[in-house]
């Protein structure tokens, strides 16, 4: 049993799976089957018709779905993952999921002799294509050691964070900080443009000063100033991450008004922009309210 299965070929899952196929014998499954068939033909993988079929014969099964709820729903039923998983296999969830569901999943799989680690990623679709993702793993050290060779197909920094759920906790906090920063950078730049400072001049100075960040150094120049706003990561997914982080703060009894506010503002942006909007389009909401565009 040496094969790998990859379930969930979305914006980030597909390039991750393509890299796994270059190193391992791979079975792929996707809800919309045409995406699995197309990827399988392109990278020399096997397209499975059901999650059960994908899992059969696989030592490592990777999931990358929108939330933990979709991962858990994949387990059950005659064609579900549980029907295909065998003792000794390992489920690696690369979804940006929630810690509590992961702990429950691990608890369900353990009596079956199936391991579980949460292993969400950061680095975007470009990082997935280049194999330079950061992977944040929650789970037993022995399971981490078994997952790492497969994760290294798409990750260049693979870190064990702690027990099951801690990878998801880390990822949620990271993305909540991203959400806070996008909103703050958007607000500040909108005000500067209205005050008569050209956007590119404001960014040049900001990026040589102490307020700079990945958002100001990379995302805004490439995606906002150009007006390109490519759709690589859904706004709905970033809002979900901020919500998981807000829940973590509540669970750990840490007062978290900044992250709560980012979650709420991202919820408002979602209501205005729709389910397909990209995460950086939250800046468009700020621009519309301000009556100005951050371009140039
Ligand atoms: P997408 O929305 O592009 O893709 C979602 C995937 O999940 C698709 O394969 C979709 O299938 C599948 N899916 C959706 N609902 C269900 C369901 N009910 N049952 C089975 N499959 C389902 O998401 P991404 O690929 O962007 O994100 C996946 C995960 O990775 C998320 O948790 C996200 O937060 C995280 N992530 C994303 C990054 C990015 O840059 N995009 C970066 C880092 C993490 P179908 O094709 O049929 O719609």
Give the pLDDT score at 2. 76
| 234 CB within 6 A, ligand 1 | yes
Considering Cα of 138, then 139, then 141, then 146, what sign does the dihedral take? negative
Q: How do residues 14-31 score in pLDDT, each as one tens digit?
A: 999 999 999 999 999 999
| 30 CB within 6 A, ligand 1 | yes
Catalytic residue, chosen from 171, 234, 240, 284, is: 171
Confidence of residue 111 (pLDDT cuts 50, 70, 90): very high
d(CA 255, CA 186): 25
Give the pLDDT score at 1. 66
pTM over 0.85: yes
Q: How do residues 251-273 score in pLDDT, each as one tens digit?
A: 999 999 999 999 999 999 999 99
Give the pLDDT score at 246. 98
CB 58, CB 4: distance < 8 Å: yes
Give the pLDDT score at 247. 98
H or E segment at 27? strand 26-29
Q: What distance in angstroms lies between residue 120's CA and the mean position of ligand 1's atoms?
A: 12
| Triad 225, 226, 227: Cα angle to 5° | 90
Q: Which of 147, 27, 143, 7 is nearest to 72 (CA)?
A: 7
Query: Atom 39, ligand 1: which residue's CA is nearest?
Result: 233
Quick one: average pLDDT of 207-225? 98
As given in the structure block, the two tokens for residue 151 are 């994760």
CA distances from 258 to 101, 147, 189, 284 (A): 25, 35, 19, 20
As given in the structure block, the two tokens for residue 90 are 């390992």
Q: Which of 193, 271, 288, 275 is nearest to 234 (CA)?
A: 275
Phi and psi torsions of 175, nearest 5°: -75, -30
Q: Of 7, 8, 9, 101, which is best to mutate to test ligand 1, by the most ligand atoms within 8 angstroms of its C-beta?
A: 8
d(CA 95, CA 148): 16
Q: What distance in angstroms lies between residue 14's CA and the mean position of ligand 1's atoms?
A: 9
Phi and psi torsions of 56, nearest 5°: -60, 125
Quick one: average pLDDT of 81-101? 97
| 207 CB within 6 A, ligand 1 | no
Q: How do residues 239-252 score in pLDDT, each as one tens digit?
A: 999 999 999 999 99
- Per the rule left: phi > 0, alpha: psi between -120 and 50, beta: everything else, 99 is alpha
- Please say if 234 is a catalytic residue: no
Find how far residue 252's CA is from the centre of its chain.
23
Query: Atom 23, ligand 1: which residue's CA is nearest?
Result: 10
d(CA 129, CA 61): 20
Phi and psi torsions of 278, nearest 5°: -85, 155
As given in the structure block, the two tokens for residue 126 are 């470009």
209 exposure class (CB count in 10 Å sphere: 0-12, 13-18, 19+): exposed
Indicate whether 52 pLDDT > 70: yes
Phi and psi torsions of 134, nearest 5°: -90, 130
Q: What distance in angstroms lies between residue 95's CA and the mean position of ligand 1's atoms?
A: 8
Give the pLDDT score at 109. 98
Q: What distance in angstroms lies between residue 106's CA and the mean position of ligand 1's atoms?
A: 21
Q: Which domains are present in the chain?
A: 4-163 (3.40.50.720), 169-290 (1.10.1040.10)
Which residue stretches of the chain are H helix?
13-21, 33-43, 51-55, 68-75, 99-109, 124-130, 141-151, 166-194, 199-206, 214, 235-251, 257-273, 282-290
Q: Are strands 133-138 and 121-122 parallel, antiparallel or unpaired?
A: antiparallel
Give the pLDDT score at 69. 98
d(CA 183, CA 243): 16
Average pLDDT, the chain: 98
Q: How do residues 164-194 score in pLDDT, each as one tens digit?
A: 999 999 999 999 999 999 999 999 999 999 9
């Amino acid at each position: 049993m040496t094969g790998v299965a990859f379930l969930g070929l979305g914006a980030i899952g597909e390039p991750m799976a393509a890299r796994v196929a270059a190193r391992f014998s791979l079975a792929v499954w996707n809800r919309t089957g045409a995406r699995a068939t197309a990827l399988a033909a392109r990278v020399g993988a096997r397209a499975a018709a059901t999650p059960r079929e994908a899992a059969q014969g696989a030592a490592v099964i990777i999931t990358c779905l929108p939330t933990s709820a979709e991962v858990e729903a994949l387990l059950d039923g005659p064609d579900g993952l549980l029907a295909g998983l065998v003792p000794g296999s390992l489920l690696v969830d690369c979804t940006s999921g929630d810690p509590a569901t992961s702990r429950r999943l691990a608890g369900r799989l353990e009596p079956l002799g199936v391991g579980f680690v949460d292993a969400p990623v950061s680095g975007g679709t470009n990082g997935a294509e280049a194999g330079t993702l950061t992977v944040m793993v929650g789970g037993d050290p022995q399971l981490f050691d078994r997952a790492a060779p497969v994760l290294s197909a798409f990750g260049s920094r693979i870190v064990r964070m702690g027990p099951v759920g801690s990878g998801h906790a880390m990822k949620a906090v990271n993305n909540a900080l991203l959400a806070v920063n996008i909103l703050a950078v958007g607000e500040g730049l909108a005000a500067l443009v209205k005050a008569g400072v050209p956007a590119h001049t404001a960014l040049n100075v900001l990026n040589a000063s102490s307020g700079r960040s990945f958002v100001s150094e990379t995302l805004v120049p490439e995606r906002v100033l150009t007006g390109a706003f490519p759709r690589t990561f859904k706004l709905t997914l970033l809002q979900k991450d901020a919500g998981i982080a807000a829940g973590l703060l509540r669970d750990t009894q840490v007062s978290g008004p900044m992250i709560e506010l980012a979650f709420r503002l991202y919820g408002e942006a979602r209501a205005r922009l729709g389910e397909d909007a990209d995460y950086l389009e939250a800046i468009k909401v700020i621009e519309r309210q301000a009556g100005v565009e951050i371009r140039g």
